[in-house]
A and B are shown apart, each in its own frame.
Chain A
Amino acid sequence: DAGVTQSPTHLIKTRGQQVTLRCSPKSGHDTVSWYQQALGQGPQFIFQYYEEEERQRGNFPDRFSGHQFPNYSSELNVNALLLGDSALYLCASSLVSDYGYTFGSGTRLTVV
């Protein structure tokens, strides 16, 4: 049974560019959450998707947007990249009716 799969694992982008990160949730899960983890910090909540809609959102600018597809997979898009967007981006899947989470291995984004 596959867990959460994230792609790509590493990415280098230039300031001002746009990036798309992808996440496939654990089989049977219907909710996907995205987190940003800066070096040496705990993850910060970006947003959560359920039934193809944004269900909750953290304190991130509109440059951060997302999408959930009918198969529950999700994308995180970041526009107009800043150096400060360099971080590990983690995807976590869950059931909307449950407390447990399964995390992916993350995508490490470096903005130069």
Chain B
Amino acid sequence: KNEVEQSPQNLTAQEGEFITINCSYSVGISALHWLQQHPGGGIVSLFMLSSGKKKHGRLIATINIQEKHSSLHITASHPRDSAVYICAVSGGTASKLTFGTGTRLQVTL
């Protein structure tokens, strides 16, 4: 069993839909990261969480430390949101990241 599990693996949505991607982890962590990867390969950091909730534009990330679970929400989805969204956890400052396998999101018109 992977230390970081994401669901769903693939997600297709229509423009404007509310999207939720889930991440569960089985190890102790100091921080959880939500990352976005476009087909070209580069990874962009969206959020870093150690507790509670963060919001940036149409993106919201939450974490429940007791349940070892995090969610990434996208409100009013748009085709430009199409990408792979990856959850990763770290055990300390500058500690290695352990990644989930990602959720491939496609938003259609």
Give the B-binding residues of A (Cβ under 8 A): 31, 33, 35, 37, 40-45, 48, 50, 55-56, 58, 88, 90, 92, 94-106, 108
Bound-complex Cα distance A88 to B95 (A): 21
Contact assessment for A101 and B45 in the assembled complex, using a CB-CB cutoff below 8 Å: yes
Contact assessment for B94 and A94 in the assembled complex, using a CB-CB cutoff below 8 Å: yes
Which one, A42, A43, A96, A105, contacts B94 given CB within 8 A? A96
List of A residues within 8 angstroms of B100 by Cβ? 42
List of A residues within 8 angstroms of B44 by Cβ? 103
List of B residues within 8 angstroms of A56 by Cβ? 95-96
Give the A-binding residues of B (Cβ under 8 A): 4, 30-31, 33, 35, 40-45, 48, 50, 86, 88, 90, 93-102
Closest to B99 in A: A42
